[in-house]
Chain A
Amino acid sequence: MALQSLDIVRRSATTTPSPSVRRMPEVAKLIDVSTCIGCKACQAACMEWNDVRDDVGTTGGVYDNPPDLTAASWTVMRFSERRGGGGLEWLIRKDGCMHCQEPGCLKACPAPGAIVQYANGIVDFHEENCIGCGYCITGCPFDIPRLSEKDGKVYKCTLCSDRVAVGLEPACIKACPTGALQFGTKEQMREYAAERISDLKARGFAKAGLYDPAGVGGTHVMYVLHYADQPGLYNGLAADPRIDPMVSLWKGVTKPIALAAMGAGILGCVLHYVTKGPNDVPDEAGREEGRK
């Protein structure tokens, strides 16, 4: 999904420096959970825009359909019922890629250029480079990417990088009937969120706030939550998401160490050869001649 209207600032498993001549504002999608009615227009629009069709599943006793993200459902609504102080609450959250500023998937990915991050903050998969190892799923603090059984590649929400590249809003934002989904620069989204939060506080939600987790450097998909102090209420939204330290380790310090170890190993071999010489195996004929 490469469109060079957007500059790439990071590529997986690549150290080549990125272009930086053009200035690009960071974008963000804001999901205002308090005005979301769970209608799934976003799910429908996502399938239509991206020409993917998920399978017709079954109902397991909840309104979540499909029950989880898949390689063909890049966003799903998650419903949870809860008895709060003021009575019953039906909390509905749109789940999907959070487009982290410090993306765990990109860090974990061993395939060069399979995962990129654009200057505007969107984290995108370039499936033509994907080797299907699934490391990105382990690396994601939100458990988002899904491997396709059909082609062995991973898929997730692209924040409609193709639409955004030509100045359009993502398909889900366009389809959302109540305006629960908003799109703009991250700054604009923070301002909009502030208005919504003050409205929620006036209606008695004292802990209303913005979900923009610092543990991943902030995200380009943010939530306005009634209970920003308890993200777990929203069907297990991570309270303090961070990239797994194993990923940081494996892709971080172990790389130079491994490189150094390999370099040292090769150097050791060369030195040994130079000092000790080749390994001489005695000739059968020579030994017999020696005995004559």
Chain B
Amino acid sequence: MASLAPTYGRGAMTNHWVDIRNADLVLIMGGNAAEAHPCGFKWVIEAKKHNRAKLIVVDPRFTRSASVADYYAPLRVGTDIAFLGGVINHLLTQDRIHHEYVKAYTDFTFLVDEGFSFENGLFSGYNAETHTYDRSSWHYQLGADGYVKNDPTLRHPRCVYQLLKKHYSRYTPEMVEKVCGTPKEQFIKVAEMIASTAVPDRTMTVLYALGWTQHSLGSQIIRTAAMIQLLLGNIGMAGGGMNALRGHSNIQGLTDLGLLSDLLPGYLTLPGEKETDYGAYIKKRAPRPLRPNQLSYWQNYEKFHVSLMKAWFGDAAAKTNNWCFDWLPKMDKPHDVLQVFEDMHQGRINGYLCQGFNALAAFPNKAKLGTALARLKFLVVMDPLATETSEFWRNFGPYNDVDPAKIRTTVFNLPCGCFAEEDGSLVNSGRWVQWHWKGAEPPGEAKVSTDIMAHIFVRLRELYRAEGGAFPEPILNLSWPYRIPVAPSSEELAREYSGKALVDLSDPKDKTRIIRKAGEQLDGFAQLRDDGTTSCGCWLYCGSWTQAGNMMARRDNSDPFGNGQTLGWAWAWPANRRIQYNRASCDPAGNPWNAKRRQIWWNGSAWGGSDVPDFKPDSDPAEGMGPFIMNPEGVARFFAVDKMADGPFPEHYEPLESPIGVNPFNTNPLAVSNPAARVFKGDRDAFGRAAEFPYAATTYRLTEHFHFWTKHCRINAVLQPEQFVEIDAVLAAEKNIRNGDRVTVRSKRGEIKAVAVVTERLTPLTVNGRKLHQVGIPLHWGFKGAARPGYLTNTLTPFVGDANTQTPEFKSFLVNIEKA
């Protein structure tokens, strides 16, 4: 998300599940699609069966995905940028790129500010004290006309193409072998297969997941692959794309609705604490086009923002009070989960509402989390299950060795229903918002989550009304129009998100024509206004519930063009566009690159075809509007300007716990690991060193389980009953561990015991001249449930996250292992 947006303009899977069957080549890396998405994986099988597609898997382990792949190559945990950078170097030096595509649709030709530089592991502007960058030199050169300067000949030394070539010239096949441990011939074989899709009639789809995001440079890893897809011309094409396979059935919905601490719904952003002026706040987020004739769709930011404020505050939001701008919290710093638990650990948080997640199990460094929870005055857990978090205070022997007498936290368990016990929608990886209907009543006293939250809100509001309090206005004026205040229905909420007209809306081109009457549901976000006449809880979802009804509930799976575009099945954001950036499936003149896989095309007066154009529908190709309409430049970025905290070009850095202790790409002690990673004081001391913990470890999932839920289910417990770790046969022999023996795995933060699975699917790698073993640790066990009791795997993991998203580095850390 945080990497695709700076590159393409939006952060989400660019294509969708069914479209995978159109691919000629499927790359699964940073993920294990067969394991974690077995149902979606059928589309990879369909591509193999009906499209003669080839499947490549690059992974530290030979996974279930690898078991049905045409080619597998190993790599060391956390070194994906070295590998992918090597692919970029291969494509550029062998000139296997889609020339016309990159020239027209990317920033290849743009000139970069003279002040930007990269030297020995650091970009210009680094502050070693604060571990942050001053990004003011990270931008394009602007001409007197306010537009970005470019060199169409690509010869200017400051053009992005030349800088890119220079940056990745260091990523040779030899370096890939040295850093990743991937044998050179295997790397080149993969690079060649990838290069074969640079031609217009072959596409590659990249399927990735948490194996890329859960690193201290996760968003940069993803950017590297996103750049490869641009070089090959695979973005906007059927069977192409950067396809983030999301890890939870509605995690896409969570990010869409702005539940991350720095977001508002629809990927709008909270103001920073210094942004006290509403006009400046809007201006910063509504960039004007930086190239001629570009759409720069975020220009409409204020329409989305004002409509959101009308949804939240109703009549209280008016132009005179800047639409209640002063009632929005202003961010001093990110308040992601790692920050919150750090604050909790410091005793700065009194109470915590933990809804639908199992923090003690799911976040790193369990010991730190347990201590943090014990410092709360109260904890409210809203969950269908009795989770480890809800019983963090109870002693479970070695699995949770705590003294309840010393824990003063009051814990409230509010059992809630699960997704099948209410009507509602889930947003899948492909941005499809699919409605489902209630299948059963919640059991016992469990209530639907929205009812619980509504009860809490209504009582809180009453208390504020009766007793006053600090800053009651936003709470007292929050619009709460639901028929039953303590039980807002999913339908009411869905209609609110999609939005409605507050007055009769007339056609801007013909004032006498009313397009929507007051109170009617809107048709799409093009109807949103910045003058308080429209209300919309999430601009991206505008059009999901129209006057014609619930678009998300549609179940027509007709595929009229035979390319998997089923526009009548449910509803996708934005505006039911199924493949993002689909303008890029045609050349600058408007003709499809691949006539056999047409998607949209210019018919002389409008764009149309098998998909909704992700573009201004009547823009003549001669105008030169670019396909990446959310970016002010209209094109995709190789050079991410100032959008990434750790640099405009991805660069290899070692995980914070590195098995080799040096970064072979530089000689800078400040740049061994991500220089911009945020590490709290105290957590740095909890990092282990290779001398004590020589093996590189990673955590992951198994098909038979979903996180920490399904260990509560009998059938899942039968299918994978007991905690195990995976090691290679050479390490097993060294440590006298036989298959099935019990072992102890330790990190600087704690230890777990498990059964050893000695397997050929892991092999020792030669990294930086020495043999390195990797240890694989599935995470599904804990001290509650029907499966055999086990240790929470996150006892072992480090408390540090990605420099942009703060997603914890669960996938590359250090351990030691002994026979138990």
Contacts and interface: CB of A to CB of B under 8 A. Distances in A.
B518 interface: no
Interface in A178-211: 178-180, 196, 199, 202-203
A55 interface: yes
Given A61-B757, A90-B761, A35 B722 contact: no
A38 interface: yes
A83 B760 contact: yes
Interface stretch (B60-68, B409-417, B612-620, B665-673): B60-68
Interface in A26-68: 34-41, 43-44, 47-48, 53-63, 65-66
A38 B719 contact: no
Contacts of B757: 59, 61-63
Given A35-B45, A81-B759, A90-B66, A48 B38 contact: no
B67 A38 contact: yes
A41 B45 contact: no
A37 B34 contact: yes
Interface residues of B, number: 46
Contact of B740 (A41, A47, A61, A179): A61
Nearest to B42: A178
Given A61-B758, A199-B49, A44 B719 contact: yes
Given A37-B64, A38-B703, A41-B38, A60 B740 contact: yes
Interface in A90-149: 90-92
B720 A202 contact: no
A40 B787 CA distance: 16
B39 A40 contact: no
A217 interface: no
B52 interface: yes
Contacts of A43: 718-719
A39 B67 contact: no
A37 B718 contact: no
A7 B741 CA distance: 51
A53 B715 contact: yes
A259 to B, nearest CB: 47
A166 interface: no
Contacts of A229: none
Interface in B719-775: 719-724, 738-741, 755-761
B728 to A, nearest CB: 11
A236 interface: no
B710 to A, nearest CB: 10
Nearest to B702: A63
Contacts of B788: 56, 58-59
A87 interface: yes
B303 interface: no
Contact of B722 (A53, A59, A180): A59
Contact of A178 (B41, B717, B756): B41
Contact of B42 (A92, A179, A203): A179
A89 interface: yes
A88 B722 contact: no
A65 B759 contact: no
A37 B704 contact: no
Contacts of A59: 720-724, 740, 755, 757, 788
**Nearest 6 Cβ contacts at the A-B interface:** A61-B740, A61-B739, A59-B722, A90-B67, A37-B34, A177-B38
Interface of B: 34-35, 38-39, 41-42, 45-46, 48-49, 52, 62, 64-68, 70, 72, 703-704, 714-724, 738-741, 755-761, 786-788
26 contacts: A35-B48, A35-B68, A37-B35, A37-B38, A37-B64, A41-B38, A53-B714, A53-B715, A53-B718, A54-B718, A56-B714, A56-B786, A58-B755, A59-B788, A61-B739, A61-B740, A61-B757, A62-B757, A65-B720, A73-B718, A87-B72, A88-B62, A88-B66, A90-B66, A179-B46, A199-B52
Interface of A: 34-41, 43-44, 47-48, 53-63, 65-66, 73, 81, 83, 87-92, 177-180, 196, 199, 202-203
